[in-house]
Amino acid sequence: MPEIGDLCEPARARRSGGRQARVAMRAAPLSDDMRPVRPGLPGGQYKPLSDASVQQIHSAALDALEQIGLSQAPPSGVKLLTEAGAILGDDGRIRFPRALVEDMLNIAARDITLHARDPRHDLHLTGTNVHYGTAGAAVHIVDPVTNEYRESTAQDLYDAARLVDNLDNIHFYQRTMVCRDVVDNREMDLNTLYGCLAGTTKHVGTSFSDPSHVADCFEMLHMVAGGEEHWLKRPFVSNSNCFVVPPMKFAEESCITMEDCIRRGMPMLLLSAGQAGATAPAPIALTIVQAVAECLAGVVYVNAIKPGAPAIFGTWPFVSDLRTGAMSGGSAEQALLTAGCAQMHRFYGLPGGAASGISDSKLPDMQAGWEQGITNALAGLAGLNMCYEAVGMHASLLGFCLESLVLGDDLLGQTMRLVRGIDVTPDSTSIQAMKEVCLGGPGHYLGSDQTLKLMQTEYIYPNVGNRMSPKEWNEAGKPLLLDTAIARKNAILAKAGCRVDPEIDAAIRSRFNIYFK
């Protein structure tokens, strides 16, 4: 395909340096501040809730905490919460006075940083800064060539982490799948954590299936960090913690895990994952009310353990297809739910996270494209700090596809361009460029200085998406999108090695039973 600058060569004198110099200049990597998209761009342009609606949801959530409360807290949680000012009723439910919730909101951590092992990938969760990444607990790997599903393995999880490490528009890696080849639950938690850390130096999110596994996992973390003191300075792993079982119940073992992790300096994702029409109310607004109430209870809990401990307000409600009761993560209602939750995070001024990018489609096809595009775009435009499950997830979280990570990197680049919006400055609205083209100029902008200057910094281009004309596409052998994604996946995995120092890697493999190579 001709270069933009070359299309107008007959109409103007060749510039100093010629075509090769211009191509080299455009091929050179841009500094982070010059890239058209980058992690942490501010969103917030989209607001599905009016200010009055936000206040109404907040008030209803406080009513729910005062009048309904939550049940099934562990004894340690009952002690922490009641000593903080919550009330244990005769029915065993813990209720939260308004004043207690407001007091804890006042001391809750804001403007937190989720550290990465490579500081270039630190995530600054302030305001409406947007970050996209993975999450989930898929039990299958999707093979888009054979259209088959198979059980996911520790090697698959490690491979996914290595891909994320090399995909610019995926900003963090939270556990994506269950290591089905690891039968022992303790070894599964260890392999899940190490598979993430060995694959990427971006921020990692993980979970623990049993509180008794936390100590061994922190031993591993300290080995990777170079000692406990280095870990405490820059904790580069967060705990994805389903501390509640909707509707309005604490999850005892997860709460015990949360208490331990917070005391060990690990940031917490307070995850409330009700399903509208099943474990959450059917109205979208009331689903948000329940999720907000549950996460506000989590804010009280966290700050009763350690005031100001870093925590993400993880209102993470899902949608049901009410005809069947099955989850529908790629629906328009899911996009609205996530965007509404983002508004509530902003209302409280707390770092927030929710689900976006889930597909109900079984394969990376057109349905997956529109579902992931709609939900990710609305989440980013709503200013969601942490957009989890943004890429790779199929079959309503049951399947994960490595090729979809590669395709999703392109999709998220376009989504982040939407989040960035339109730059309106004196320079970008000056009519000088119009004068130069229209008044005695070539009659087009293809080779203008302004066009060449902005083609890398204001425009983003797909890595695998195809913009050929039909003629060019035919002459190139009619390449298919999936084939290009597979080729890029294979090229990345061929060069991506372990991201842990070889000596530390050897020590970890000697100490723990690691299943992937």
Question: By the 8 A CB rule, do 173 and 117 touch?
Answer: no
Alpha helices in 243-389 (DSSP H): 252-263, 284-305, 332-348, 366-381
Q: Tens digits of per-residue pLDDT, 194-213? A: 999 999 999 999 999 999 99
> With bands split at pLDDT 50, 70 and 90, how would you rate the model's confidence at 4?
very low
The pLDDT of residue 260: 98
Kindly report the pTM of this predicted structure.
0.93
pLDDT for 448 equals 86
- Give me the mean pLDDT over the 244-255 stretch: 98
Domain segments of the chain as ranges:
105-421+504-511
Contacts of 49 (CB under 8 A, 6+ apart): 57, 340, 343, 344
> Residue 5 above 80 pLDDT?
no
* Residue 96 confidence (pLDDT): 98
DSSP secondary structure letter of residue 342: H
The phi and psi torsions of 400 (rounded to 5 degrees) equal -125, 140
Q: Which CATH architecture has domain 105-421+504-511?
A: Alpha-Beta Barrel (3.20)
Greater confidence (23 vs 262) lies with 262
Q: What is the pLDDT of residues 30-58, one digit of tens each?
A: 777 778 999 999 999 999 999 999 999 99
Average pLDDT over residues 416-430: 94
First vs last C-alpha separation in the chain: 41
User: What pLDDT score was predicted for residue 451?
Assistant: 87
For residue range 124-162, list pLDDT tens digits in order. 999 999 999 999 999 999 999 999 999 999 999 999 999
**How far is residue 462's CA from residue 453's CA, in Å, rounded to a whole number?**
19
- What share of the chain in percent tops pLDDT 90? 88
Scanning the structure block, which residue is given the tokens 């529908």?
328
At residue 171, what is the residue type? H
DSSP 469-489: -HHHHHHTT---HHHHHHHHH
Specify the pLDDT at position 12: 40
